[in-house]
A and B are shown apart, each in its own frame.
Chain A
Amino acid sequence: METSPIVISCQRAWKLFGANPVQYLKQMPEGHGYEDIRADGYIAGVKDVSLNVSKGEMLVIMGLSGSGKSTLVRCFSRLHDITGGTIEVDGQDIMALSERDLIELRRSKMGMVFQSFGLLPHRTVLENVAFPLEMRGQDRHMRRERALEMIRLVGLEGRENYFPRELSGGQQQRVGIARSLAIEPDIWFLDEPFSALDPLIRREMQDEFLRLQELLGKTIVFITHDFDEALRLADRIAIMKDGAIEQCDTPDRIVLNPQTKYVKKFTEDIDKARVVHAGALADPEKTSEASGDPVQSDSTILKLSRQLVHDERAMIPVANSDGAIIGAMDRQKALEVLLGAE
């Protein structure tokens, strides 16, 4: 993943809300905390965030409400103008774009899905999905063709002529997803897309989403307040609090190695064995200490539990998907993950 080009590069980005944020940020003393800023009458929506998103990666931004996650993603698409720092998309500083260029960027590269769907109530499913295509002036026949394809992709065939209010929440979000994909965006923003749905539908939509992602391989920034959802979907998770990123890492490492108290609190109730993969425990320096049949690096510890209990080796070799040994896993450590270390 490190070799993939960087799509979104966000360096020391700030977003302050208040009377005169740009001025305030310039004269603000270094190391001013969230509460200090608040005492001065400003709200830090995004606080000194640096973050890169690579091509084809799924980055999940996780945080409770008011943590700034939605604000951050809106800064990426410049629905909000940042107060300080830089955000580059494909190497281009988006704050430097003219209105026309910004519209062009959104028309060609970005798609976004919203928590309450954001469907236009006066348009049918088909017209909603075709809306971004209409905006960029594609001809009627082409956009119909493409919209129907997207509707098929999200499994809403036969409902093209329904109006949003005639659909269930899950179906409405499928329309939202189809619309966001209509222009074949490179970057896909999803702002709590499943939070407004009830738990059963949510699960189903997550599966659907994983299927789509496998098919499409987009660069994704996904927002959620649900830690389980984040663990389930993410390549990397960024956990936010008070506008700042507490920790940004793979799910395995966040669970195994939470870096702040706040992150630790989230991970406490998590069944780690379901999250941690053998690959995360593999130590390349100890490859020589292990022998015998390797385990797959992308198997979770939970999946390996039976073997871990019965296997008598102290170190078990771990192989990647090509079959090459990438390191050795300490069985004791793996068992600790499985059983929960005291």
Chain B
Amino acid sequence: MAYVTLNSHYSKTALTRMGMPRWLLIAAVAICATQSFLPNFMIRLPESWIPPSAQILDYFFNEIVINTLHFNELTRWFAEGPLDFMLGFTANLLEGKHRWPFLDDPLPWSAIAAVATVLGYYLGGWRMALLGGGTFVWTALMGQWKITMQTLSVLAVAAPLGFLIGLVAGIVAWKWKWFDNAIKPVLAVMQTLPFYTYLLPAVIFFKVGPTAGAIATTIYATPPMILMTTVGLKKVSPEIVEAGKMSGCTRWQMLTRVFIPSARSEILVGVNQVIMLCLAMVVLTAFIGMPGLGGKLLAMMNSFKLGRSLEIGITIVLIAIMLDQMSKAWVVKLPAHFEKGTPWHIRNKYLLFAIGAFILFLVSAQFIDILNEVGRRQSLSIGREIDGAIKGFLNIDIVKSITGFLRYVLNVWILVPFRDFLLWIPVSAFLLLVVAFAWSVGGRRPAAYAAVFFTLVAFSGWWDRSIITLYSVLAAVFISMLVGIPLGIYASRSEKWAKRTLLVCDTAQTFPSFIYLLPAIMLFGITDTTVVLSIVIFTTVPLARYTIEGLRNVPSELTEAADMSGATRWQKLVKVQLPVALPTMAVGFNQAIMFAFFMVIIAAFIGTQDLGQELQRTLAGTDLGKNFVLGINVSLMALTFDLAIISWANKRKEALGL
């Protein structure tokens, strides 16, 4: 009896779910078809309807936050006081800036490379030692030491700061449910907000230069740390908690001696993410004039010096891999005991060794110049030669015709028509389409969000640019699906290739997003196609990755059952593996869309006509209001997809019992 009622209930909801999106779709098509007869406001909202949100926000920031609350004095105090001091300290050590502790010379590169080698060996044996030492040796030899240290000196302040803020906020969110509920949506918006929106407020509240860069970087990198801390603390086994209570811990002792140490792994994963996001962001702070690797790369790309760009790109990638691998090795490195009576110097041999190597190189650098600094002339940079080679390669007729053809096909047959089509759809029809999509995919709740979010976008006054942004995202994700999913399916056929491809994807995901522009620019120069192509490269990675993960994680009983039922490889793939893997693949698809929204904004500097372009323009001025409106637009569009797809994936997973 119960079964029957359950069943009828199910079919009823299924009916409304199938019905409503279809009606919305029909309505949208009807509006499109009859648009020449429709009143103007259904096609584009008239100018007079747009509320002056940017001005209101400006008023809020200028009059209330700055002139009344004098919030900027607090932030400026922080920027000019403690933050400036910390940045000055690392800058003095690493770049030799004239700040406290007033060392005349920066630390010699050889000493830093030596310490990185020992640290690498401690964390992960010879391979890691080679990675750690090699990265710094490469950097020094390529004559990029100074700019690398400029980047790392900011990172060395921003990452610990992000860690600390994230840890404290994570603990608070774990302890007080209301805080958790309050910050969840904020974090969701923050993770989809384009980075330009972090940069301008940072500049306005925290001064131009490294301080603003450090703040923007910190804020950008903190959300995952908060989430991981909360997750880790929640996961501490109840028996350990009870053991702590029965040992008579006070609340403070519980937190510091029981909870935090027991959540070590998750917290360290958070540290890893903080470091990687900091690196990604610190490179992007080039857009507010921060010197360093990002700044140099931006300058080189702007002047189309591909060889030097490539070298800097390799440095950034090496640093990313090194930081990622080392922090991940730290997560899995669990303490091991020493036999009783092991003397102190053996227990601490790595520490002693690192100090020894550091001092050795520090001293010898005073006498051997090349260990201290690799001069301009001495560096092994062959940027100019590479530049020549790349440009020569691109000038070969065949290559030229291939890239030209690709560009033509993409532009004329796919991209431009698609863009024009999206722009042709009236606002009202577009809203209906988005809601229909969210409803059919995610259900009622995501549909409601979609309706609200896109209405807000429509009333922001930036509809056309928003649609162009959306067009780049959709086009790019579509193309990368054509590449990434077959790639993932193919790779997942053998254990060996699945592992290799996953390794490549995981490594590629640690690269700062800025790097992905490089190959696209190399192949297509500075054109519209480059924007889409760089997004395609960037988003293929998560698609391939999650396809493999989804397919590899199909329970082996299922594939065996399919084999025993006499399924061909194709049948097995289509009827068994893909349906089961689909929820996981959807997560990858979602990530691809999020990445695309991120990348499309970065790519703005190549020259687009979307929100990113406008956002970038605001950086030059003090248009906080406009900057926010544009940023929120991107965030709202991204969240619409995020909510719908994740909701679908979760429902599907539940239905499949995964």
Contacts of A120 in B (CB 8 A): 240, 243-244, 257-258, 261-262
Are the C-beta atoms of A74 and B338 separated by less than 8 Å?
no
A135 within 8 A of B: yes
Inter-chain contact B337/A163, CB cutoff 8 Å: yes
Say which residue of A116, A123, A124 sits within 8 Å of B237 (CB atoms).
A116
**Given the complex of chains A and B, what is the CA–CA distance between A103 and B239 in angstroms?**
17
Q: B246 within 8 Å of A by Cβ?
A: yes
If A103-B249, A106-B245, A116-B239 touch, does A166 touch B261 (CB 8 Å cutoff)?
Answer: no
Which residues on the B side are within 8 Å of A189 (C-beta)?
246
The one of B249, B336, B339 that contacts A135, using a Cβ cutoff of 8 Å: B249
Asked if A163 meets B334 with Cβ closer than 8 Å, knowing A79-B242, A120-B243, A122-B264, the reply is yes
Verify B340–A158 contact, CB threshold 8 A: yes
Which of chain A's residues have a CB closer than 8 A to the CB of B262?
Answer: 120-122
Residue in contact with B246 in the complex, picked from A110, A124, A134, A165, CB distance below 8 Å: A110
The yes or no answer to A131 lying at the interface (CB within 8 A) is yes
**A158 to chain B: which residues have CB within 8 Å?**
340
* Complex CA distance for A12 and B250, rounded to whole angstroms: 30
Encoded as 1 (CB less than 8 Å from any B CB) or 0, chain A from 84 to 116 comes to: 000000000000000000011011001110111
In the complex, per-residue mask of B328-361: 1 if CB is within 8 Å of any chain A CB, else 0: 0000001111111000000000000000000000
Cβ of B5 under 8 Å from chain A: no
> B247: CB under 8 A from chain A?
yes
State how many angstroms separate the Cβ of B470 from the closest Cβ of chain A: 45
Query: In the complex, A118→B262 CA distance in Å?
Result: 11
A119 touches B338 (CB 8 A): no
Q: Contact check, B337 vs A118: say whether CB atoms are below 8 A apart.
A: no
Asked if A118 and B334 sit within 8 Å, CB to CB, the answer is no
Instruction: Please report the C-alpha to C-alpha distance between residue A112 and residue B240 in the assembled complex, in whole angstroms.
Output: 11
Whether A272 is near chain B, meaning CB under 8 Å from some CB there, is no
Name the contact of A132 in the complex, choosing from B248, B261, B335, B336 (C-beta under 8 A): B248
Q: For B239, B243, B249, B336, which residue has the most chain A Cβ atoms within 10 angstroms? A: B243
Contact A112 B248 (CB under 8 A): no
Whether A77 sits at the interface, judged by CB under 8 Å, is: yes
Assembled-state Cα–Cα distance A135/B246 (Å): 10
* Interchain nearest-CB distance for B159 vs A (Å): 23
Does B248 lie within 8 Å of A77, measured CB to CB? no
Q: Interface readout for A54-73 with B: 1 if CB under 8 Å, 0 if not?
A: 00000000000000000000
Q: How far is the CA of A77 from the CA of B243 in the complex (A)?
A: 11
Contact of B336 among A116, A117, A118, A166 (CB under 8 A): A166
Q: How far is the CB of A166 from chain B (nearest CB, A)?
A: 6
User: Interface digits, B250-287 against A, CB 8 Å rule (1 contact, 0 not)?
Assistant: 10010001100110100000000000000000000000
Q: How far is the CA of A115 from the CA of B258 in the complex (A)?
A: 18
List of A residues within 8 angstroms of B237 by Cβ: 116, 118
A136 at the interface (CB under 8 A from B): yes
Residue from the set B244, B246, B250 with the largest chain A CB neighbour count within 10 Å: B246
Find out whether the CB atom of B336 lies under 8 angstroms from the CB atom of A111.
Answer: no
Name the one of B239, B245, B246, B337 contacting A115, with C-beta atoms under 8 angstroms: B239
Within 8 Å CB of B250, what residues of A?
Answer: 103, 135
With a CB–CB cut-off of 8 A, which chain A residues contact B249?
103, 135
Q: List B142-191 residues whose CB lies under 8 Å from chain A.
A: none
Quote the shortest CB–CB distance from B37 to chain A (angstroms).
57
User: How near does chain A come to B158, taking the closest CB pair, in angstroms?
Assistant: 27
Identify the closest chain A residue to B342 (Cβ).
A161
Chain A hits for B245, CB < 8 A: 79, 106
**A283–B480 alpha-carbon span in the complex (Å):** 89
A262: CB under 8 A from chain B?
Answer: no
Q: Mark A282-324, 1 if CB is under 8 A from B, else 0.
A: 0000000000000000000000000000000000000000000
**Which residues of the partner chain A approach B239 to less than 8 Å between Cβ atoms?**
114-118
> Once the chains bind, are A162 and B337 in contact (CB under 8 Å)?
yes
- A119 and B240 CA atoms in complex are apart in Å by 6
**Residue from A74, A114, A179 having most chain B Cβ neighbours under 10 A:** A114
Taking CB atoms, residues of chain A closer than 8 Å to B338 are: 161
B248 adjacent to A122 (CB under 8 Å): no
Residue of A nearest to B249 (CB): A135
* A308–B243 CA distance with the chains assembled, in angstroms: 49
A118 lies within 8 A of B240 (CB) = yes
Shortest C-beta distance, B474 to chain A (Å), equals 46
**In this assembly, does A271 line the interface, its C-beta being within 8 Å of a C-beta of chain B?**
no
Which residues of B sit under 8 angstroms from A134, Cβ to Cβ?
257
Any chain B CB within 8 A of the CB of A81?
Answer: no
The residues in B between 90 and 116 inclusive whose CB is less than 8 angstroms from any CB of A are none
> With a CB–CB cut-off of 8 A, which chain B residues contact A111?
246
Q: Is the CB of B243 within 8 A of A124?
A: no
* CB contact list, A23-65 vs B, under 8 A: none
How far apart are the CA atoms of A180 and B339 in the complex, in Å?
Answer: 25
Contact of B340 among A103, A160, A165 (CB under 8 A): A160
Closest residue on chain A to residue B251 by CB atoms: A99
C-alpha spacing A123/B242, complex, angstroms: 16
Contact B340 A114 (CB under 8 A): no
Chain B residues lying within 8 Å of A117, measured Cβ to Cβ, are 239
Report how far A177 CA is from B339 CA in the complex, Å: 23
Q: Mark A7-32, 1 if CB is under 8 A from B, else 0.
A: 00000000000000000000000000
Knowing A106-B247, A118-B242, A160-B340, the reply to whether A165 touches B261 (Cβ < 8 A) is: no
CB under 8 Å from chain B, chain A span 162-176: 162-163, 165-166, 176
- Residues of A within 8 Å of B335, CB to CB, are 122, 163
A136→B248 contact, CB < 8 A? yes
CB of A74 within 8 A of CB of B337, answer no
Known pairs A118-B237, A136-B248; A124 contacts B337 (CB<8 A)? yes
Given A114-B239, A116-B237, A118-B239, CB of A77 within 8 Å of CB of B246: yes
Complex formed: what's the CA distance from A135 to B247 in Å? 7
Do A135 and B340 touch across chains, with their CB atoms under 8 A apart? no
Q: Contacts of A136 on B, CB cut-off 8 Å? A: 248
Residues of B within 8 A of A104 (CB): 248
In the complex, chain B residues whose CB is within 8 Å of the CB of A162: 337
18 A-B residue pairs with CB within 8 Å: A106-B245, A106-B246, A111-B246, A112-B246, A120-B240, A120-B243, A120-B244, A121-B261, A121-B262, A121-B334, A122-B335, A123-B261, A124-B337, A132-B246, A135-B248, A135-B253, A161-B338, A179-B247
Q: Which residues of B contact A (CB under 8 A)?
A: 237, 239-240, 242-250, 253, 257-258, 261-262, 264, 334-340
9 more A-B contacts (CB under 8 A) besides A118-B240, A123-B261?
Answer: A107-B248, A116-B237, A120-B243, A120-B261, A122-B261, A131-B257, A132-B247, A165-B334, A179-B247
The 4 closest A-B pairs by CB, nearest first: A107-B248, A118-B243, A118-B239, A132-B247
